[in-house]
A = this chain, B = another copy of it.
Amino acid sequence: MHTTMPESHVRQAATAHDVARHAGVSQSAVSRAFTPGASISPAMRERVLAAAAALGYRPNLIARSLITRRTGMVGVAVGSLANHLYPGMLEALANRLQAEGYRILLFTAPRDGNADPEMEQILRYQVDAIVLAATTLSSHLADECSAAGVPVVLFNRTSSRAAAASVTGSNHDGAYALARLIAEAGHRRPAFIAGPPNASTNRDRQEGFLAGCAAHGLPAPIIVPGGFSEAGAIAAITELLARPEPPDAVFCASDHMAITVLDTVRHCFGLRVPEDISIVGFDDAPPAAWPSYALTTYRQPIQPMVEATVTLILERLASPEAPARQVVIPGELVIRRSCRLPPGVEPEG
């Protein structure tokens, strides 16, 4: 003999109304019981909570958002997760955002380019903010979001438009530092395997590298496109090594490409790194630290970058009228063993 249904499958979910009836109180009271800091007596809250538990009630956050105008969802657009920098970033961002009471609505930019129709959807979901972490996404999209009044933070890229906030590593300075390291280690023929020309991240690294080479007495590097992809990187290094005067130091615009290049150089061309050729990357993605690679690179500190991203979001949510800030997180040179060392310098680890 039982009074309440024995919780069978697929019952219609209990609503605040059901709970109110069950507890013999108003529906408003139910709402208050689930609103931290609302004006409600302990006795009442107790009573409501008991009824809620009995019915397996769960507040409908979607319905709530309709009136509060906050969904608690942050749209995150990522390109390929094949770049080893992004899985860690995504996980850290999700954790940090969860701690602030937000969840990630994830959008992946399809390979074949045009992500705009999908991005249109992201706005229809009334996300509270958007993080754009795909180098390939048009900045037109960022404008679209800003126009819709949704705060946008560009992660690991910038935009010429002032409306978008952004968080990046020190791309220019990092690449400059790598050029200097290469010069001081006595290399004479630098090369640069580039990412997509329209990616701000790639552009800044290229500029920094060229400036660094020039400043430290190196000739202008050979520049070959690699497109931030494995296939592109292989094609690029193959072309470089086919030259009559192959480079003695190669800077890859991302660790992802650098790892591929390292493997290719060693296992396809039988070269020793760094004795025959030095390879450096950018990011300090996890595999860069693996002993098999021991890649010399420039770190983009994920945790601080994520931290800054969340801060920017919260800032703009609090005061939408404030100007968008562009934050640059300083990185650091990580000297391992894939690049010849200048006199007196020791690798880490």
- A-side interface residues toward B, CB under 8 Å? 7, 9-11, 13, 56, 58-63, 65-66, 71, 73, 76, 78, 80-82, 86-88, 90-91, 94-95, 98, 103-108, 110, 118, 120-126, 146-149, 259, 262-264, 266-268, 286-287, 290-293, 320-321
Q: Is the CB of A147 within 8 A of B267?
A: no
With known contacts A106-B104, A108-B94, A292-B292, A58–B263 Cβ distance under 8 A: no
Q: Min CB distance, A62 to chain B, in Å?
A: 5
Q: Min CB distance, A107 to chain B, in Å?
A: 7
Q: Which residue of B lies closest to A104 (CB)?
A: B106
Q: Is the CB of A9 within 8 A of B61?
A: no
Q: Min CB distance, A252 to chain B, in Å?
A: 15
Residues of B within 8 A of A7 (CB): 147
Residues of B within 8 A of A268 (CB): 291
Q: Is the CB of B9 within 8 A of A147?
A: yes
Q: Complex Cα distance A13/B150, Å?
A: 10
Q: Min CB distance, A347 to chain B, in Å?
A: 13
Out of B13, B60, B80, B118, which one reaches A91, CB within 8 Å? B80
Q: Complex Cα distance A234/B162, Å?
A: 48
Q: Min CB distance, A179 to chain B, in Å?
A: 26
Residues of B within 8 A of A108 (CB): 91, 94-95, 98
Q: Which of the listed residues A86, A121, A264 has the most CB atoms from chain B within 10 Å of its own CB?
A: A121
Q: Is the CB of A125 within 8 A of B62?
A: yes
